[in-house]
Structures are given as C-alpha cells and as structure tokens.
C-alpha cells in the first residue's frame, strides 16, 4: 500500500448544515499540497474531520491513510498513525507546561503504553527517559530558534498569535508526523512571525512527511513552496494545479475561480458545481 | 472500651472519657464546660445560610465513639525537639506538657456556623494533635502527623492544636485516613495560631472512607506580620462539611487560603469560609479548586469580612469548579461584606463548568486518548494551587492522594 492520504467523495455536516459536499483529494508522503479557499468554504471543517472532531459528522465518502480507514478511528489513534493537525486556534491548557505537554504527546505517539501491561512481566511505564527527552526538546527548540524559557510556560496560556503558531510547529517538530495538516498557520502573523514559522516548517519537512497546508492567502506559499495547489469552494475541490495556481489566485481572486468553473460570483450554494478543472 | 451513644453523647459519657484516660481536673472541667456549650448551642437546623446545602438528617449520630485510638504517626525533623518543638498526640501532650496544653486548648470559639461541632469536639475528643513551636525557632523540614482510623463506623472528634509562637517558622502536614464502608462520623477540628511574625504552612489532607461524614471546623489566627498558608485537600468521605475561619487579627498579616477538592460517586462537599480582615494592612487570598466526577456536588459559601475602620486591607476569594460529568454540580457563592472605606483591594471570582470540548479534542489529536487527555487537563487545572505548595513532602502527598481520585499515573505527568 502506498503511503498516501486519500479523501474520496467526502461529505460532512455539522448539526443540520452540510459543509463538505463531495471532496476529493490525495496527498502522498513527501509531497506538499496547498488547499486554498475563501472563508466558509470548508477548510477548517476538512482539517477537523481528518482528525476526528466529534461535532463533524461524515455522511458520505471515505478517508484512508496508508490503506487504513481513518474515519473509524478516534483522534488519538489517528495521531498515533502519524497524522498531525496544526490548529488555526490552538487551545490553552492551563497548568500544563510546554515541556510536560511535549513529553506526554511524544510518549503517546512514540512510546504508547502497552495495552496488556499486567502481571509479573509488566514493568513500570515511564516512556522516554527524561534526560533524553530534554535533549530532544532542546534540539527542536533551537531548530525553531525558540527561547528555552518557552518550555516552562503553560500550553498556549497568554500566548500571542505568533507564539501559538510556533508552539504548533514545535509540537510538529517533536512528534515528527508523517502527514501534517496545517490549518491557517499563517493567519494572524506579522511578516516576521510568518517568516520564522515558515522556517520552522521548512526545517521540519522531509521526504518522510506529507503536508496539507490550508490557507486563505497566498503569502505563506512565498516561504513554503507547494508542489500542488487546490482550490476549495463550497465544500469541494473545484480546481487543482501546480504552484502557479496560487499566484493566479493571488492576482485574480476567488471570483476568478467561480468564473472559470461557471459559478455565479460570490456564491456557490445551491449550484451544482462541475468536475474539477484539473487534477493530478 | 467504647462509650455507647444512643443518639448523641451525654454528660456522663463525657465524664467517662476523663475516667478512661485518668485526666487531670483542669481537663475534666474543660470537657464539662464545653459539653455545656455544645448542649446550649443546638446543632444546625438546615435553615442557616451555611447549612442550607447539607442535610444532617443521615448523620450517624449513633456511631460508637472511638476510644482506642491507634497511635498517631508523627514525624519531627531531626534537631527540632532539641529546640523545644513539640509534635505529639494530644493525650501525650496533656501528660508531658500540661501547662502548654492547658494554656492553649479550647480557649476560643470556632467558626460560628460550626459552633455546636466545635464545642462537641472540645468536650469529646479522644485523640488529636499538639504541635508547638517556641518563639524564634525555625523548623527546617516538614512536620507530619498521620492518623489512621481502624474502622469506618465510629465517631471520632479529634482536636488539632497548633501554636507557632512569635517569630517562629513551621511547615505541618496532617493526614487522616479511614477504611471505606459503613457510615462514620469524623468531627475533627483544628485550632491554628500564628504569633507575631510567625511563618506557618499548614496542610490537612483528608482521605476518609466512602461512608464517612466529615463535619469539620478550622480556625486560623494570623498575628501581626505573620505569614500563613493553609491548604485543605479533601479527596475522601461521603459528606464533607467544613467551616474555616481565617482571622487576620494582627496588623500586616498575610494569609493564603488554598483548597483542593476532588470528589466522585455521590460525594458532597460543602465549604464555608470566612476571611476576617480585622486589622490594618492585612492580606488574605483564597483559592479553592474542585474537580467533580459522577454525581459529586460541591458547594462553596465564602465570606470576606472587611471590618469597620480597618485600613489598606487586600483580599480576594476565588472558587473554580471543573465538572467532569453532566450529573456533577457546583454552587460557588462568594459574599463580600465591606464595612471599611480605605481598602486596597477586595474581590472575588467564581466559576463552574465542564472541560471545553475543543481543548479535549486538541489534546486527543496529539495522541492522548480521551481519558489521558482529561487527566492531563484536570491535573493542569489543579496546578494553580499545586504550584503554590512549596513544601515538597506536602506536594507529593497531595498529588499522590489526588492521583487516586483523578487517575493521574505519576506525579511527573504534568510537572516534567
């Protein structure tokens, strides 16, 4: 089985509202994809659905990762299979330090507790040794050029927008996922913060990792170059292409896409969209 | 030998306690006087504001008074005894330090809302603790006193008396443990006094069995320029009803009043606090945190009383409740009574709510299963108090007790 994330005919509702309406997308390990779309097109819904948010109800379609049905799994199991979501709005966890959180999530993914640890054969579960973890964390923090004092702060509590995004990147660098979904990682960042976050992404990228960058604007793509660009409109991928597509979008806006695919300007609802113009 | 108490104790039963322990006359008189007080101060009817949320209808009044009290385990840091520090069970203290005990025991009323139970314990105590730190003595290390009850179905009203004289410094942990099972009545009270410029850290860790009724009262007096931190960690019992008065009677005194409550099943916790700012330039900050599972319920009724004519006092009370089940409930009620004009600060905050589902999802997407994610969030929630427990022994004991309730696997899970 190839190492690919295959999303096929995905339909998702939240409450009574249908948000994704037959979304198709394939991302392979080692590839960087950008998924662009206007507000309300379903970008974050896709990210949440891929990770198993309980409020997002899948009504049709499939999602597989390395041939395995992802939709049947809880979020933690998806993470243990190598998926990672960098949140647009990461949650604060008061009282839990960054260092302890990183160690917990590293252990959850790379040193899961044996399910049947019992009896005389069981040894006390400790996960990664503290010293080894410290070293790993210091490496990753220096890779992302982060102040070591960051480690002692509580997760996202009182963080600026830029700090939150950097912590998402630090988590990604620490757990080294094989498929990372970055949801609006560029939003709310000034240019310096954007550059440093992008550096973090580039430093973490490898041929072992697939990336799906979800973004509203093109500016992030100046720093992290995608091989593939897709346009999400009204719950579907309506257009796909190479990096040049992002520049066309930047120049012409989403109404240009609507025009290209024959949708009325500024709408998308109640219209049966055609097949995607291009796909790979 | 045990004393049978048909419904509640009577004067004869109180006398028999003195007979049994061959007590000196002053103590016999002391018990008799407090018994009269208990008799004259009827138990709460349920109409009182502080008692509206806890019914005493099922209080096991008929439980047998525990007379053969197992030995109190005490730990006194080495060298402390040579400096006159005393840490011993109250009966031994009556024998070995009669003057000190007579001078300190039962000289004051307890929290008004718990007056009956305070008097009852002063009259009917069969165990307890005496801790004394002489003037100018600083004790390094942690004093620990642990009481284990032999059975669940008894009544026990121990008295803890802590006297830290002027300019002394002490850290004390008291613990009580009892087996699960039948209903019992634990009516322990604590009388804690910090003299001028004393520094006192007092933590009480309650791990009573699941049938226990803890009807407790605690009175803390903070002298001039004294600094006192109290911690009540309530993780056991069926019912906990605690009255806590912190009396800021000395100018410039500071108190930190901390609470950690973790309850599940059908446990009920009801805390009444009074922060009494009776002197100029006093500071009192209260923080109570509760994590409530299953059908557990916590009430918190806290009064901040800024006395008339006081100047430049500073006070806060905060009560936060984490509801970990749809059936769990919390009722935090802060009351500010401000009779002074010149105050620095007087505020309150109260919250009760479930874990934000998005936060839970966030942690789950990092590979933690739902239980582990919840545990981490709950443990983090308590960190606001835990981080203020500077004494390592106390912190470890409290975390270990909490782990049994909230299920955290190791104390370094959060603090790594």
Q: What ipTM was assigned to the predicted interfaces of this complex?
A: 0.91
Long-range contacts of B396-404 (CB under 8 A, 24+ apart): B397/B173, B397/B175, B397/B205, B398/B203, B398/B205, B398/B231, B398/B233, B398/B260, B401/B205, B401/B207, B401/B233, B401/B235, B402/B233, B402/B235, B402/B260, B402/B262, B404/B235
- Please spell the DSSP secondary structure of A112-137, one letter per residue: PPPTT--TTT------S-HHHHHHHH
CB contact under 8 A, A97 and B416: yes
The band of A273, judged by pLDDT with boundaries at 50, 70 and 90, is very low
Domain boundaries, chain B: 11-354, 361-416
Output the pLDDT for position A275.
40
CB contact under 8 A, B379 and A99: no
- The per-residue pLDDT of chain A, averaged, comes to 89
Distance, CA of A6 to CA of A17 (rounded, Å): 24
- Angle (CA) A101-B406-A128 rounded to 5° is 35
- The alpha carbon of residue B67 and the mean position of all alpha carbons in its chain are separated, in whole angstroms, by 23
The band of A125, judged by pLDDT with boundaries at 50, 70 and 90, is low
Encode pLDDT of B108-148 as tens digits: 999 999 999 999 999 999 999 999 999 999 999 999 999 99
* Nearest C-alpha neighbor of B123 from the set B187, B185, B59, B73: B187
Output the pLDDT for position B20.
94
Output the pLDDT for position B195.
98
* Nearest C-alpha neighbor of B243 from the set B322, B173, B189, B290: B189
Nearest Cβ partner for A91 among B358, B381, B413:
B358
Q: What is the pLDDT tens value at each position of chain B, 416 positions in all?
A: 333 333 368 889 999 999 999 999 999 999 999 999 998 998 999 999 999 999 999 999 989 999 999 999 999 999 999 999 999 999 999 999 999 999 999 999 999 999 999 999 999 999 999 999 999 999 999 999 999 999 999 999 999 999 999 999 999 999 999 999 999 999 999 999 999 999 999 999 999 999 999 999 999 999 999 999 999 999 999 999 999 999 999 999 999 999 999 999 999 999 999 999 999 999 999 999 999 999 999 999 999 999 999 999 999 999 999 999 999 999 999 999 999 999 999 999 999 999 999 999 999 999 999 999 999 999 999 999 999 999 999 999 999 999 988 886 544 444 44
Find chain B residues with C-beta within 8 A of A96's C-beta.
376-377, 379-380, 383, 414
Distance, CA of B32 to CA of B2 (rounded, Å): 19
Encode pLDDT of B367-400 as tens digits: 999 999 999 999 999 999 999 999 999 999 999 9
Q: If you measure CA to CA, which chain A residue comes closest to B374?
A: A93
Closest CA of chain B from A211, distance in Å: 16
The band of A124, judged by pLDDT with boundaries at 50, 70 and 90, is low
CB contact under 8 A, B367 and A80: yes
Encode pLDDT of A207-218 as tens digits: 899 999 999 888
Find chain B residues with C-beta within 8 A of A48's C-beta.
361
CB contact under 8 A, B387 and A95: yes
Mapping DSSP onto H, E and C, the string for chain B reads: CCECCCCCCCHHHHHHHHHHCCCCHHHHHHHHHHHHHHHHCCCCCCCCHHHCCCCCCCCCCCCEECCCCCCCEEECCCCCHHHCCEEEEHHHHHHHCHHHHHHHCCCCCCCHHHHHHHHHHHHHCCCEEEEEECCCCECCCCEEEEEECCCCCEEECCEEEEEECCCCEEEEEEEEECCCCCCEEECCEEEEEECCCCEEEEEEEEECCCCEEEEEEEEEEECCCCEEEEEEEECCCCEEEEEEEEEECCCCCEEEEEEEEEECCCCEEEEEEEEEECCCCCEEEEEEEEEECCCCEEEEEEEEEECCCCCCEEEEEEEEEEECCCCCEEEEEEEEEECCCCEEEEEEEEEEEECCHHHHHHHHCCCCCHHHHHHHHHHHHHHHHHCCCCCHHHHHHHHHHHHHHHCCCCCHHHHC
Q: Is B377 on the interface with A (CB under 8 A)?
A: yes
Q: If you measure CA to CA, which chain A residue comes closest to B388?
A: A95
Nearest Cβ partner for B363 among A93, A99, A103:
A93
Domain A4-95+177-261 has CATH 3.40.1190.20: no
CB contact under 8 A, B367 and A94: no
Average pLDDT over residues A60-71: 96
* Nearest C-alpha neighbor of A237 from the set A209, A212, A210, A201: A212
CB contact under 8 A, B383 and A93: no
Helix (H) or strand (E) run with residue A145 in it: none
* Whether the Cβ atoms of residue B321 and residue B349 lie closer than 8 Å to each other: no
Output the pLDDT for position A267.
55
CA distances from B207 to B126, B134, B177, B291, B358 (A): 20, 30, 5, 15, 33
Domain boundaries, chain A: 4-95+177-261
DSSP structural state of residue A29: T
Output the pLDDT for position A266.
60
CB contact under 8 A, B361 and A94: no
Measured from the Cβ of residue B340, the count of other Cβ atoms closer than 10 Å reads 16
Closest CA of chain A from B409, distance in Å: 9
CB contact under 8 A, A84 and B414: no
Closest CA of chain B from A137, distance in Å: 12
| Crossing angle between the packed helical segments B370-386 and B357-364, to the nearest 10 degrees | 110
* Whether the Cβ atoms of residue B224 and residue B165 lie closer than 8 Å to each other: no
Distance, CA of B67 to CA of B3 (rounded, Å): 8
Rg of chain B, C-alpha, whole Å: 21
Encode pLDDT of A24-65 as tens digits: 999 999 999 999 999 889 999 999 999 999 999 999 999 999
Nearest Cβ partner for A79 among B358, B367, B376:
B367
Asked if pLDDT for residue A122 goes beyond 90, the answer is no
Output the pLDDT for position B412.
45
CB contact under 8 A, A96 and B366: no
Q: Is B407 on the interface with A (CB under 8 A)?
A: no
Q: If you measure CA to CA, which chain A residue comes closest to B361?
A: A53
DSSP structural state of residue A219: G
Indicate yes or no: pTM above 0.80. yes
Interface of chain A against chain B, CB under 8 Å? 48, 51-55, 74-76, 78-80, 83-85, 87, 90-97, 99-101, 103-105, 108-109, 112, 125, 130, 133, 154-155, 171, 175
- The alpha carbon of residue A5 and the mean position of all alpha carbons in its chain are separated, in whole angstroms, by 12
CB contact under 8 A, A91 and B359: yes
Distance, CA of B148 to CA of B176 (rounded, Å): 6
Closest CA of chain A from B146, distance in Å: 28
* Whether the Cβ atoms of residue B334 and residue B319 lie closer than 8 Å to each other: yes
Nearest Cβ partner for A85 among B357, B365, B369:
B365
């Amino acid at each position: 089985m190839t190492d690919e994330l295959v999303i096929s005919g995905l339909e998702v509702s939240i409450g009574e509202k249908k948000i994704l309406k037959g979304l198709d997308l394939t991302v392979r390990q080692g590839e960087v994809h950008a998924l662009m779309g206007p507000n309300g097109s379903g970008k974050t819904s896709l990210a949440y659905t891929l990770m198993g948010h309980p409020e997002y109800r899948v009504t049709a379609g499939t999602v597989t990762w390395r041939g395995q049905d992802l939709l049947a799994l809880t979020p933690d199991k998806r993470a243990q299979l190598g998926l990672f979501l960098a949140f647009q709005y990461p949650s604060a966890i008061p009282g839990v330090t960054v260092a302890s959180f990183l160690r917990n999530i590293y252990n959850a993914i790379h040193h899961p507790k044996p399910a049947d640890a019992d009896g005389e054969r069981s040894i006390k579960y400790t996960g990664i040794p503290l010293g080894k973890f410290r070293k790993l964390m210091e490496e990753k923090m220096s890779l992302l050029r982060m102040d070591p004092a960051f480690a002692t702060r509580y997760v996202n509590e009182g963080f600026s927008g830029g700090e939150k995004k950097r912590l998402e990147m630090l988590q990604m660098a620490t757990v080294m996922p094989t498929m990372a979904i970055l949801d609006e990682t560029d939003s709310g960042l000034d240019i310096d913060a954007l550059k440093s976050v992008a550096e973090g992404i580039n430093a973490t990228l490898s041929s072992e990792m697939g990336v799906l960058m979800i973004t509203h604007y093109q500016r992030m793509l100046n720093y992290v170059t995608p091989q593939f660009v897709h346009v999400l409109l009204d719950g579907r991928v309506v257009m796909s292409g190479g990096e040049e597509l992002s520049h066309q979008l930047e120049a012409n806006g989403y109404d240009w896409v609507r025009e290209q695919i024959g949708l009325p300007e500024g709408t998308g609802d109640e219209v049966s969209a055609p097949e995607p113009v291009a796909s790979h | 030998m045990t004393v049978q108490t048909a419904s509640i104790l009577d004067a004869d039963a109180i006398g028999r306690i003195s007979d049994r322990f061959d007590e000196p006359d002053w103590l016999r008189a002391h018990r008799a006087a407090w018994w009269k007080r208990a008799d004259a101060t009827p138990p709460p009817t349920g109409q009182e504001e502080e008692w509206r949320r806890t019914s005493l209808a099922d209080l096991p009044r008929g439980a047998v008074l525990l007379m053969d009290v197992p030995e109190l385990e005490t730990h006194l840091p080495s060298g402390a005894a040579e400096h006159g520090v005393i840490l011993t069970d109250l009966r031994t203290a009556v024998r070995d330090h009669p003057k000190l005990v007579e001078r300190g025991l039962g000289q004051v009323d307890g929290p008004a809302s718990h007056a009956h139970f305070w008097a009852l314990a002063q009259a009917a105590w069969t165990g307890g603790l005496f801790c004394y730190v002489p003037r100018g003595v600083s004790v390094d290390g942690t004093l620990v006193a642990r009481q284990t009850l032999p059975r669940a179905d008894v009544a026990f009203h121990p008295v803890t008396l802590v006297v830290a004289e002027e300019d002394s410094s002490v850290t004390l942990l008291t613990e009580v443990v009892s087996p699960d099972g039948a209903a019992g009545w634990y009516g322990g009270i604590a009388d804690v006094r910090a003299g001028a410029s004393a520094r006192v850290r007092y933590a009480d860790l309650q791990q009573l069995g699941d049938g226990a009724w803890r009807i407790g009262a605690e009175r803390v007096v903070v002298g001039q320029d004294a600094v006192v931190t109290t911690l009540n960690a309530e993780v056991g019992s069926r019912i906990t009803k605690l009255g806590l008065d912190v009396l800021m009677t000395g100018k410039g005194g500071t108190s930190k009043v901390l609470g950690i409550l973790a309850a599940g099943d059908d446990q009920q916790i009801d805390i009444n606090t009074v922060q009494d700012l009776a002197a100029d330039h006093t500071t009192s900050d209260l923080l109570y945190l509760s994590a409530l599972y299953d059908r557990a319920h916590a009430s918190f009724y806290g009064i901040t009383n800024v006395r008339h004519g006081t100047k430049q006092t500073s006070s806060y009370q905060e009560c936060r409740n984490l509801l970990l089940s749809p059936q769990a409930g919390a009722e935090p009620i802060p009351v500010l009574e401000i009779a002074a004009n010149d105050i620095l600060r007087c505020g309150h905050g109260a919250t009760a709510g479930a874990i934000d589902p998005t936060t839970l999802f966030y942690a789950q997407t990092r590979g933690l299963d739902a239980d582990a994610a919840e545990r981490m969030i709950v443990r983090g929630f308590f960190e606001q108090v835990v981080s203020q427990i500077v004494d390592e022994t106390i912190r470890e004991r409290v975390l270990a007790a909490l782990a049994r309730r909230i299920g955290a696997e190791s104390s370094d899970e959060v603090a790594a």
